[in-house]
A and B are shown apart, each in its own frame.
Chain A
Amino acid sequence: MTKQPASGFGPDLAEVFGPSQQDGGPELIQLLTPEGERVHHPDIDVDFPEEQLRGFYRDMVLTRRIDTEATALQRHGELGIWAQLLGQEAAQIGAGRALRPQDYVFPTYREHGVAWCRGVDPLKLLGLFRGVDQGSWDPGANNFALYTIVIGAQCLHATGYAMGMQRDGVVGTGDPERDAAVVAHFGDGASSQGDVNEAFIFAASYNAPVVFFCQNNQWAISEPIERQSRIPLYQRALGFGFPGVRVDGNDVLATYAVTQAALQRARDGQGPTLVEAYTYRMGAHTTTDDPTRYRLSDDVERWKLKDPIARVEVYLKRNGFADEAFFDSVADEADQLGATLREGCKAMPDPEPMSMFDHVYSEMTEELAAQRDGYAAYLESFEGAAVGGGH
């Protein structure tokens, strides 16, 4: 427990957020240090085959490339906006690779790395931010729901989906091919929303197979985590009646191991877990944000030393798990992916104007059809005349 300050009942902020906690505090689960040293944890540990380690590296490099390409495309006017994941690659790849095919994911708007793990075409992510659609992947095909922009709403959806799994008898059967669970992604800021807290209540009440995966990247746009919580976020879970853990979100090994354990608990019918992936938003909130208005670069510099990709690279090299040819091939693959994204994005056609009337209902109503037809006739009346040139 945190000490009470003399003047009131709140916890001592210096203890919760001060220097002793800067690196996540003593409870932080870590398997690979920022220096690339493999450490062990008494409760949570996994033997990682070399191939899996190389896979993590490749996933993170390619995910980062998606992110940097998208950021550049936004700068060139090809995307309206982009939500960068820079710095959060390990949290997302660790969480994404811990999934089984039958598990289901509810993302926010920043889970590009998880989308990658689920096999969602990154061009489809760009489509949303370009403004050609609002998410064009088939959620059922990848077991990956559409991005949710309204903060926190998806945590309730995830919980309800998990309750559906319970009723379908795919929880706690002991069959690894069958037992399933759900991951709800959300941010530190989102932890303040009513929906998120209600999701905790429902999941606890029904023992729903859901993992609440919070990427605490320390910021909700300009507001630091201290504005949202006066205890480490993972500790909140206890008050709702389920376990919470804090994992080094810049450590892909630890994030994988912790998420896998939490997912297994859920699949086994033991209910929800809150995983707080302790990480940092290295970039702006989105490409329209200017973080120099509200945060010091010292923090960013300090977190640079904890880069999620660099530590895996060091670990692979030092132990001879990967050779130069491997690193070169990943770099080439990233370049190719970048080129594919650039070309694919620029070639993406604008949607047909009439498509804005589609899919409002499962069947078009007569009154909407009349509105659509009226608009089509109106557009046709311009044919031959210069559109927008007056009347």
Chain B
Amino acid sequence: MTQKITLAKGLNMGLRKAMENDPKVLIMGEDVGKLGGVFRITDGLQKDFGEDRVIDSPLAESGIVGTAVGMALRGYRPVVEIQFDGFVYPAYDQIVCQVAKMHFRSQGKSKMPMVIRIPFGGGIGAVEHHSESPEAQFAHTPGLKVVACSNPVDGYWMIQQAIASDDPVIFLEPKRQYHADKAELDDTVTPDPLFTSRVVRTGTDVTVLAYGPMVKTVMRAAEAAASEGKSLEVIDLRTLSPLDMGPVLDSVRRTGRAVVAHEAHVNLGMGAEISARITEQCFYSLEAPVLRVGGFDAPYPPSRLEENYLPDLDRVLDAVDHSLSF
């Protein structure tokens, strides 16, 4: 069956499917019950699955993730919702010291099949702490897997795959896309595996890498570039840890040029790791240094400046031109 869905709907349907398929799947978080979460991603789930499976938690992120660890040890598969990116930090200790290391510490005897969903990124005109991109802080932590969806169909499949994973997954959702574009979902197809990147537009001149909210921006940049006769190949990375470098290296070997775009600060962001790996693994194919486009190395600004702060179509194209100038 096919239907047109938003990202919010895709995630909601994916969560519902996972809960139907496995009675051990639980949802935990602030306001996820009657309200359906502040973004309505869990809309209707408590009504249908009950308060034991869709758990409105007390207002304490460390408590939520810490108790989810216990639930996981007891054989459940908790899906934790963090209300906004900037509020994950009270749980940071539980995530990096406990969630990430339990499997290693127990020599594989204790699994941590937990998903921590984080609405991330800016562009919604919010106040402080509601627009951040903390992915690198988790990708830097061994034991955690980190993925970011960019569109409704991936939202539907990736959330189910993340829940099915026996490793803990930090699941990043581009909040400004939640209710934006609709896409056609055909749930009879076989989805790509979770930890894979995907070429979403083929091209010959420059490879542009993005994930989450920046995929849309980069796709628009590619269209604009095409009208000027420049051919961009766009890759939606989808997985940030582990990275799936295969499609990236294949592409860069053909184009000889790469630009990495993300909303997160450039300094030690995902772009730094990706550009190091490209340089290490296909140095002789490169015509230009790998360039990064991202948020500036200042805290996310007051929302009236976020259009300046966030990398947009023009800044992506500027980097592309810079790359082509070598």
Residues of A whose CB lies within 8 Å of any CB of B are 80-81, 109, 128-134, 149-151, 189-190, 192-195, 220-223, 227-228, 288-289, 293-294, 350-351, 353, 355-357, 360, 367-368, 371-372, 375, 378, 382, 387-388, 390-391
Contacts and interface: CB of A to CB of B under 8 A. Distances in A.
Contact of B58 (A109, A128, A227, A355): A227
Contacts of B224: 390-391
Interface in B284-321: 296-299, 301-306, 308-309, 312-315, 317-318, 321
Given A150-B129, A357-B296, A133 B317 contact: no
The 7 closest A-B pairs by CB, nearest first: A131-B303, A222-B35, A192-B58, A189-B59, A356-B301, A294-B34, A353-B308
A391 B228 contact: yes
B305 A351 contact: yes
B126 A360 contact: no
Contacts of A133: 302
Interface of B: 30-31, 33-36, 38, 56-60, 62-63, 86-87, 89-90, 125-129, 224-225, 228, 296-299, 301-306, 308-309, 312-315, 317-318, 321
A377 B78 CA distance: 48
Nearest to B83: A221
| Residue in A149, A351, A357 with the greatest tally of chain B CB atoms within 10 Å | A149
A353 B59 contact: no
A150 B228 CA distance: 46
Contacts of B314: 382, 387-388, 390-391
A355 B305 contact: yes
B90 A194 contact: yes
A46 to B, nearest CB: 34
Contacts of A372: 296
B305 A223 contact: no
B180 to A, nearest CB: 17
Contacts of B62: 194
Contact of B127 (A80, A289, A356, A357): A80
Given A130-B304, A367-B297, 11 more contacts: A80-B126, A128-B302, A129-B127, A150-B86, A151-B59, A189-B59, A193-B60, A220-B30, A222-B33, A294-B33, A391-B317
A134 B127 CA distance: 8
Given A221-B38, A375-B296, A193 B90 contact: yes
Contacts of A294: 33-35
| Residue in B36, B86, B127, B321 with the greatest tally of chain A CB atoms within 10 Å | B127
Contacts of B31: 221-223
B296 A356 contact: yes
Given A131-B127, A150-B86, A391 B321 contact: yes
Contacts of A194: 60, 62-63, 90
Given A80-B125, A194-B90, A195-B90, A368 B297 contact: yes
Nearest to A356: B301
A294 B31 CA distance: 10
Contact of A356 (B30, B86, B90, B308): B308
B29 to A, nearest CB: 11
A185 to B, nearest CB: 15
A66 B224 CA distance: 46
A390 B220 CA distance: 11
A149 B127 contact: yes
A293 B308 contact: no
A120 B64 CA distance: 36
A253 to B, nearest CB: 31
Nearest to B129: A149
B304 A351 contact: yes
A355 B298 CA distance: 10
A149 B301 CA distance: 15
Contacts of B86: 149-150
Contacts of B58: 189, 192, 223, 227-228
Contact of A360 (B89, B228, B298, B304): B298
10 contacts: A80-B125, A128-B302, A131-B302, A134-B127, A149-B86, A150-B86, A289-B38, A368-B297, A388-B312, A388-B313
Nearest to A354: B308
B303 to A, nearest CB: 3
Contacts of A357: 296, 298
Contacts of A288: 38
Contacts of B63: 192, 194
A350 B128 CA distance: 16
Contacts of A151: 59, 87
Contacts of A227: 56-58
B224 to A, nearest CB: 6
| Residue in A133, A222, A293, A357 with the greatest tally of chain B CB atoms within 10 Å | A222
Contacts of B87: 150-151
B127 A128 contact: yes
A378 B318 contact: yes
B231 to A, nearest CB: 15
Nearest to B321: A391
A134 B302 contact: yes
A371 B266 CA distance: 10
Nearest to B296: A371
A223 B304 contact: no
Contacts of B125: 80-81, 131
